[in-house]
Amino acid sequence: MADTTRPIETSPSRDAELDRIFAAQRRAFAAEPYPSRETRAARLDALIRAVEANEKRIIDAINADFTCRSRHETIVAEIVVSVAAAKAAKKGLARWMRPRAVATPIHMLPGRSRIEPQPLGVIGIISPWNYPVQLALSPAAAALAAGNRVLVKPSELTPATSELLRDIIRAEFDEGVMAVVTGGADLGQAFSSVPFDHLLFTGSTAIGRKVYMAAAANLTPVTLELGGKSPAIIDESADLAAAALSIAHGKTFNAGQTCVAPDYVLTPRAKLDATVDALAASARKLYPEIDGTKDYTAIISQRHFARLKALVAEAKDAGAKIVEVASSNALDPQRKIPLTIVVDPPADIGLMKEEIFGPVLPVIGVGGREEAIAHVNKGDRPLALYWFGEDKAARDDVLRRTIAGGVTVNDTLWHVAQENLPFGGVGKSGIGAYHGRQGFETFSHMKPVFYQSKFASNKLLYPPFSEKTDKLLNMVRKIV
């Protein structure tokens, strides 16, 4: 926890507003280091109000930043999920804040042992562009529930949404409780160097490394929500049409610009063509009028659009079969990319080495479950894994022998929407987790406390030592 008694050291390289608000939040926390349940609930209500009262403004701002963002996707992924996180935190407050009794060893009785959750102080949140409201406010809900002050730095790639976030949070909160600062990459670097009591970053692995290094200078604990190549495995026992529909939905929701989107598909080699056909049919079913619909989201920027196009071009030049489930001629001017299936691409091209983060889907034929498991395990541990099938033994074998941040069975994405399931990565896909109780504990110091009894016999082990001490130690050894 930050030392709130010493003066704040400002840096000429840091933004003056950032330093000022951080200092104000540290002072506010020092004045109220353990907010009551009622105060925390009121702050969560304010967060809910900020979202619900500004739903249309949020939809319009995100749509402006993307140039086309499905209204329904925004309602589901930004409005509903953010409000659900705050409501779940409010509902859990009484249980989560309560000290938890733990067993005390017999030789230390009649003393008592407890774990007492304590607010950490000031929490920093760096949120990304792909879900600019949800990934700013969902962790903020957990941090407020834990009794902290919160400072958010949203992405510069969604300027309209970032400015709106600043305005709606300013309207509901004193800046000593929660605030938003906006700016470019320079502010992001400065933000990472602030001595927060905990820092949460959601974004790319490359930027996550830089955030981690900057935070390390202050020994600031971090939660990193990154990404990676999340596989979808189709078992021999799967209903292929149902699996394809789920995978196509997961890959086209927000145009695949989702950290847990299925990055590639592993399917039985004998069913490779059938899988490609089923995925294409599913995409046509989901977006029958893709050329003109506002239901299909655009790629966030021209740079990202060009990167995805280059990945597909490289795969085509390497001899992979490309199946575009729409007309590029109609979608290119809208900065949209249809579901683009790349069949059996070579392993050494960019598409198979970096996170795709768009609606481009490699589909790879494998000889069976062993080959699928080996394929997953030879890469970095993914943020998500999806398994499709009805064979429970095969399912359990895959889940035991692969390691991923989270798993959905017979669907995609939905484990992330569960507030009772922690969300986080493993290895290069992330460090730490939040959501629900896990989020409360991430932003709390789970403080161990031992309450000694006046009847304790521990003084018998104080010096000067004697033969009686040896007898007592021998007795303790037998009971521990």
User: What are the phi and psi torsion angles at 404 (to 5°)?
Assistant: -140, 160
Instruction: State yes or no: is 259 an active-site residue.
Output: yes
Task: List the one residue out of 379, 366, 66 whose CA is nearest residue 227.
Answer: 379
Contact status, residue 226 vs residue 205, Cβ threshold 8 Å = yes
Q: Which 8-state DSSP code applies to residue 438?
A: H
List of E strands, 193-320: 198-202, 222-225, 231-234, 264-268
Rounded distance between C-alpha atoms, residue 59 and residue 160, angstroms = 11
| Residue 5: CA count within 13 A, CB half-sphere | 0
The secondary structure of 251-280 as a DSSP string is HHGGGG--TTS--EEEEEGGGHHHHHHHHH
Q: Which domains does the chain have, with CATH numbers?
A: 16-226+431-446 (3.40.605.10), 231-424 (3.40.309.10)
Rounded distance between C-alpha atoms, residue 199 and residue 209, angstroms = 13
Rounded distance between C-alpha atoms, residue 199 and residue 220, angstroms = 7
Rounded distance between C-alpha atoms, residue 408 and residue 398, angstroms = 12
Catalytic residue (one of 78, 172, 259, 355): 259
C-beta neighbour count of 109 within 10 angstroms: 12
Task: For residue 478, give Cα distances in angstroms to 105, 106, 356, 471.
Answer: 12, 11, 59, 11
Buried b (16+ CB within 10 A) or exposed e, 233-242: bbbeebebee
For 347-357, write each residue's pLDDT tens digit.
999 999 999 99
- Tens of pLDDT along the chain (480 residues)? 433 333 444 444 458 999 999 999 999 999 999 999 999 999 999 999 999 999 999 999 999 999 999 999 999 999 999 999 999 999 999 999 999 999 999 888 999 999 999 999 999 999 999 999 999 999 999 999 999 999 999 999 999 999 999 999 999 999 999 999 999 999 999 999 999 999 999 999 999 999 999 999 999 999 999 999 999 999 999 999 999 999 999 999 999 999 999 999 999 999 999 999 999 999 999 999 999 999 999 999 999 999 999 999 999 999 999 999 998 889 999 999 999 999 999 999 999 999 999 999 999 999 999 999 999 999 999 999 999 999 999 999 999 999 999 999 999 999 999 999 999 999 999 999 999 999 999 999 999 999 999 988 888 888 999 988 898 889 888 888
- What does pTM read for this prediction? 0.94
Catalytic residue (one of 73, 78, 225, 355): 225
Residue with the two structure tokens 């000290």: 99
Contact status, residue 65 vs residue 160, Cβ threshold 8 Å = yes
Rounded distance between C-alpha atoms, residue 387 and residue 231, angstroms = 8
Strand partners, 79: none
Contact status, residue 89 vs residue 439, Cβ threshold 8 Å = yes
Rounded distance between C-alpha atoms, residue 47 and residue 171, angstroms = 10
Contact status, residue 165 vs residue 180, Cβ threshold 8 Å = yes
